């Protein structure tokens, strides 16, 4: 194990967070007339000082490290990097929010960086704007991953960057057309920045002020879900804002490699990309289904509002953004069932969304269907196709293994959560585990869209923070840390 290179990589992650703290200090200075900002500045300076000292220590330890990185170091760097980023990101909450416990600070920080969007704070409107800015920006950073941001500028890693990216992202690095992985990641970052700028302009034109337009750009293109008001999106009372967010969230849940190819005018991708087509088909079908249910049950509500609420909530859930423009806890149970299915499905691979990912659902269904055929036609030889290409057996097995593993993690986590929290309903426990593992945010019952996670015990919040990181990294980078052989010296 090359511990020095791991130390250097962790130092770079902290450097990224240090820059965001500096940006928050700038926001604090801009709104200096607000007394809350004057109280917050000390906390920001202390947060940045602690992060800088820790960063310097890590760089000093790793300064003589070899630049060669293997798969073990990549997994270790990713897992430890997200844990370290979550702990460091907790500093502003701990130092600025009055009477904030360590568990609350860690939970909120982790929820932001993993783009989960679950919160332990009931009154975020009491926060200084600089903290609201950091809270939202943390999701923007976590959207494509803290790791991707620094890998993009690392020329010395070479092929090691490919290993890092492929373990951090739900997409495979082989999806990139660029011969050099850094160039490929930079093209993703360029697309991300461009879409972010367009999103901010959308929100401004829809009626948001520049501060809110920026904050909601951070949290919607990253499919994160943090808000700047206690009522969330509903506080704007503006249909134009909701439609703008519908478009941005849908784009955030779309495969970024697909978007890059569309920007390159490869129009055939519009019809040939199986995952993206099914993604938008699911959105359409579920939205129309919920619209019909709402129209039947709430006939006093205009149809156009039913359509807007249905599309907003369906896209918010399937992209795991977790916004709520209405308290869907009050909707009929059949709507809850449909939304729960969307929570599990999630968005496209190579997007900022969480969930199982649609590509895995497609391959799993095709595999199951083929096995059913083989049950009465044992000599049948038929490959599984995806995007008109034949999937090799290794890829199919990896997908099925992941589905089994995440199901096992879900069941184990559900049991542990039930032991920790005797007074929470099973619906609340089940949706909590679903929301945290698949990085969604709101759930049902005690953790519904109008509730928060503050009532959980401190140890439960720490446990859920680990679950959020595990879901964001799709298990392996965290599970590997608990494997003894990872830390041995052999390559």
C-alpha torsion angle, residues 107, 427, 321, 216 (rounded to 10): -70
Residue 315 has a pLDDT of 97
Average pLDDT, stretch 447-458? 92
Distance (Å, rounded) from C-alpha 26 to C-alpha 10? Answer: 25
In this prediction, residue 476 has a pLDDT band, given cuts at 50, 70 and 90, of: confident
Q: Is the pLDDT of residue 176 over 60?
A: no
Q: Is the pLDDT of residue 295 over 80?
A: yes
Distance (Å, rounded) from C-alpha 121 to C-alpha 101? Answer: 11
Q: What percent of the chain stands above pLDDT 70? A: 89
Residue 180 has a pLDDT of 56
First to last CA, the chain: 7
Helix (H), strand (E) at residue 390: strand 389-390
Cα–Cα distances in angstroms (integers) from residue 70 to residues 67, 160, 233, 491, in the given order: 10, 7, 44, 8
Q: Is the pLDDT of residue 152 over 60?
A: no
Q: Is the pLDDT of residue 155 over 50?
A: no
Residue 146 has a pLDDT of 58
Show the CA angle centred on residue 56, arms to residues 486 and 61, nearest 5°. 40
Q: Would you mind telling me the total number of residues written for the chain in this entry?
A: 491
Average pLDDT over the chain reads: 87
**If you average pLDDT over each of 168-172, 188-192, 482-486, which comes out highest?**
188-192
In this prediction, residue 24 has a pLDDT band, given cuts at 50, 70 and 90, of: very high
In this prediction, residue 173 has a pLDDT band, given cuts at 50, 70 and 90, of: very low
pLDDT tens track for 76-117: 888 888 999 999 999 999 999 999 999 999 999 999 999 999
pLDDT tens track for 462-475: 999 999 999 988 88
Lowest mean pLDDT among 61-70, 91-100, 104-113, 452-461: 61-70
In this prediction, residue 319 has a pLDDT band, given cuts at 50, 70 and 90, of: very high
Average pLDDT, stretch 150-168? 53
In this prediction, residue 333 has a pLDDT band, given cuts at 50, 70 and 90, of: very high
Average pLDDT, stretch 233-255? 94
């Amino acid at each position: 194990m090359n511990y020095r290179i791991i130390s250097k990589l962790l130092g770079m992650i902290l450097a990224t967070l240090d820059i965001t703290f500096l940006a928050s200090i700038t926001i604090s200075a801009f709104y200096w007339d607000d007394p809350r900002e004057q109280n917050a500045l000390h906390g920001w300076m202390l947060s940045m000082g602690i992060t800088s000292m820790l960063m310097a220590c890590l760089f000093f330890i790793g300064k003589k490290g070899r630049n060669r990185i293997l798969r073990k170091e990549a997994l270790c760097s990713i897992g430890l990097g997200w844990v370290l980023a979550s702990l460091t990101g907790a500093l502003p909450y701990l130092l600025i929010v009055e009477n904030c416990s360590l568990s609350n600070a860690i939970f909120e920080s982790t929820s932001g960086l993993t783009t989960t969007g679950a919160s332990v704070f009931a009154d975020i409107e009491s926060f200084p704007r600089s903290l609201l800015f950091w809270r939202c920006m943390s999701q923007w950073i976590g959207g494509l991953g803290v790791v991707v941001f620094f890998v993009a500028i690392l020329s010395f890693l070479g092929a090691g960057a490919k290993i890092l990216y492929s373990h951090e992202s739900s997409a495979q690095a082989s999806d990139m057309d660029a011969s050099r992985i850094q160039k490929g990641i930079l093209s993703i970052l360029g697309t991300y920045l461009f879409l972010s700028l367009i999103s901010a302009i959308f929100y401004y034109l829809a009626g948001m002020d520049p501060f809110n337009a920026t904050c909601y750009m951070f949290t919607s293109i990253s499919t994160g879900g943090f808000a700047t008001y206690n009522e969330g999106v509903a506080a704007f009372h503006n249909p134009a804002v909701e439609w703008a967010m519908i478009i941005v969230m849908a784009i955030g849940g779309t495969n970024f490699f697909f978007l890059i190819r569309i920007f390159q005018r490869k129009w055939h991708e519009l019809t040939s990309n199986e995952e993206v087509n099914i993604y938008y088909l699911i959105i359409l079908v579920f939205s129309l289904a919920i619209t019909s249910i709402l129209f039947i049950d709430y006939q006093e509500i205009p149809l156009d509002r039913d359509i807007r609420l249905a599309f907003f909530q369906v896209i918010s859930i399937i992209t795991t953004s977790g916004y709520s423009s209405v308290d869907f806890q009050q909707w009929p149970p059949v709507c809850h069932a449909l939304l729960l299915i969307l929570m599990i499905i999630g968005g496209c691979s190579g997007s900022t969304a969480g969930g199982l990912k649609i590509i895995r659902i497609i391959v799993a269904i095709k595999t199951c269907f083929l096995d059913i055929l083989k049950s009465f036609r044992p000599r049948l030889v038929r490959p599984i196709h995806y995007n008109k290409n034949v999937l090799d057996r290794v890829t199919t097995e990896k997908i099925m293994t992941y589905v089994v593993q995440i199901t096992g993690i879900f069941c184990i986590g559900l049991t542990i959560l039930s032991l920790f929290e005797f007074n929470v309903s099973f619906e609340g426990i089940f949706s909590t585990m679903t929301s945290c593992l698949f990085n969604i945010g709101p759930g049902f019952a005690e953790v519904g869209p109008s509730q928060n996670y503050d009532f959980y015990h401190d140890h439960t919040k720490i446990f859920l923070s680990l679950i959020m990181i595990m879901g964001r990294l799709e298990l392996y980078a965290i599970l590997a840390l608990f494997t003894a052989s990872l830390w041995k010296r052999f390559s």
